[in-house]
Every structure is written in C-alpha cells, then in structure tokens.
Amino acid sequence: MNLFDYIRPATLPEAIAAGARPGASYLAGGTALLDLMKIGVAHPGQVVDISRLPGLDRIERLDDGAIRIGALVRNADLARDPGFAAACPAVAEALLSGASAQVRNAATLAGNLMQHTRCAYFQDPHSACNRRNAGAGCDAIGGETRGHAVLGWSDACIATHPSDFAVPLVALDAVVEIAGPDGPRDMPLADFYALPDATTPGGVTLAPGELITALRLPPEAAGFAANARYVKLRERTSFAFALVSAAAMLRIEDDRIAAARVALGGVAARPWRSSAAEAALIGATPGTDIFETAADLMVKGAAASGDNGFKIALARRITTRALTLAAAGTPARMPALPASVFAPVTGTASHA
C-alpha cells in the first residue's frame, strides 16, 4: 500500500474542496476502497474521510411520498428500516442478499452504488484493463469469462457491475443527488452507469470533487410494494456476487398487470432494463406464458463475451422466476435466505 495523506473534513464544502485535489479519493465505509488499496489497484495520494459529515445518514419520507436516503446510510440499517422495507421490499431483499452481515453493517449507500467491478482482471494490477489504464486493452477477452457480460459489452470492456442494491433501484427510476465544485445536480441512476463503447470501458464517471449525497425514490415506487421480489443466482448461497439476478415489481389490478418494472443484474456494466419487456406485461393476466415472453425481451440482443453463453438462458429463467414470485405476492416476512432460489415461495402481500 502506498503512503497517503488522510483528512477528515467537517463540512460538505470542505470535503468537496479536498476531493477535487489530484489523487484524492473519498472514504466512507471503506469496504471497497481499502480492499483496492491493499491489492494495489487504487493508489490515492489523499484519502478524504467523509464518514462523519453531518446530515447524510438519514432516511426521509418527503411530502410528496418520495423516499430520500442519505449517502452515509448503512446498508443493514436501510434494509431493516421498517418503513423502507414496507415501501420497497425488493430493494430491502436485494440489500440483504449482498455480502455478509459484517460488511452490510459498514457499507454505505453511496459506496454500494460506486463500487467497482469485481472482474478478476480489473483487480489484478498485472493484467491489461481499460478501466484501470485507458487504452491498455482488456485481458478478460479470451480469458476466464464465466461471470462477465452478455449484454451491452464491447471489445473495450466485458465487465459487469456487481451491485445487488442498484438493480431494483434502476427499475424503480431512482435518482442520485450529486454535489461538487459546480454545485448540486440530479441524475437518474440508470444514466449514472455508462455502457462501454468501441473504445471506452464505461462505468461511473464523476467530476473531480463530486460525490453522491443522497438517493431519491419517486412516490410511485411504493405502489409496487405488494408484488415485488428480487432473485439472485450465485455460486453459493451467501457472500457471493450474482451470476445473474432479477428484480421484478408488478402492480396488479382486477387480476391484470397495470404496471411492471423488471431489471437484470450480473449481465452488463449496469443494471439492465427493457422497456419492451415491461410494455409486454402491461394489461396481461399474470402467468407463465407472458412472463416467458417478457424474459425473452429482457435478453434480446444478448451475446456471449466468451465462455458465458449459459448466462443468457439463466437470465431468461431468473426473469421468469422473479416475475412468478412477484405475482404471488411479497412475503409477509423477509425470507431466511433473501433473494435465494432456495427460499420458500409465499403468497401474502404485506411485508415486515
């Protein structure tokens, strides 16, 4: 680990000024940055500890029904907050399916959204990686690609975004609030993650000094609470990133789907949403046939980026499974194995 300066600003303006300096990195929970520093991937010259900035650790219900979550809210605290879990059960389930209890107790909302890919070639300083070194190439191509992208990838990068949390958030049209030297701005979370193009690897790009201050869920998000699930297929039942995951949220009226939100995780450089798949569901009676049609639309255009074509079939099945579980109703209690394909199926519509 290289030598670095450590500072702990007392106010947001002080933090932004420090974070704008060349070589500076923000530190909150530390569950991502410290790991990258230890393995030689991140080399900040200055670590700006924002973990004690005032006012960024609140969960608020706004007057219009929107939910605003501060950047420093811990993952475990958000998932276990009764009001939030009742309004956004699929988001709570996604949070509880990620990492370990110890990591969730430390990790923050903003850190989760900002985390880098877990691509082994990105995390190996001796491998060529366009994300670490622009123009270096991508050693993942032609390498071990089991966990890599099948949608939205290019020869510049085939990595996937690792967050479970972000998948239902994108489906629910979440917005990130960003502060920086040029003032505050809002950005839809779906636009926060750029897909790779022919020459650039995509990912998250914030201007020097910018940081996430909060995330906002629109009032409509709570309208899906009765029929919302997150399903995650992974190599082991806990403390593992998704091979493929899916968030499915339905609003059912008179035995028909009045509104639908679906997103896939583990398949691209950002959570993958299909407006065509959602449109196909609206007006239909919930059932296997329409769910499989939506699943086909979710993976339209998918292509293997190596030895991972099996993920396309998995994505179809996980989409169908998530929609089936959502249609059955959000469980009254969080499953003992959140988001697991081994969790029991229940059909009650309240969530606690």
Fold designation for 226-328: Enolase-like; domain 1 (3.30.390)
pLDDT in tens, 24-33: 999 999 999 9
CATH number for the domain running over 5-49: 3.30.43
pLDDT under 70: residue ranges of the chain: 1, 345-352
CA 162 to CA 166: how far, in whole Å? 9
- The residue type found at 221 is A
Structure token digits, residue 201: 């690897």
Report the half-sphere exposure of 74 (CA within 13 A, side-chain side).
16
pTM: 0.97
CA 142 to CA 8: how far, in whole Å? 43
Angle at 90 between CA 244 and CA 337, to 5 degrees: 70
Give me the residue spans of the domains in the chain. Answer: 5-49, 226-328
Return the closest-CA partner of residue 67 out of 179, 187, 221, 199: 221
- pLDDT score at 150: 98
- pLDDT score at 348: 53
Return the closest-CA partner of residue 305 out of 191, 185, 140: 140
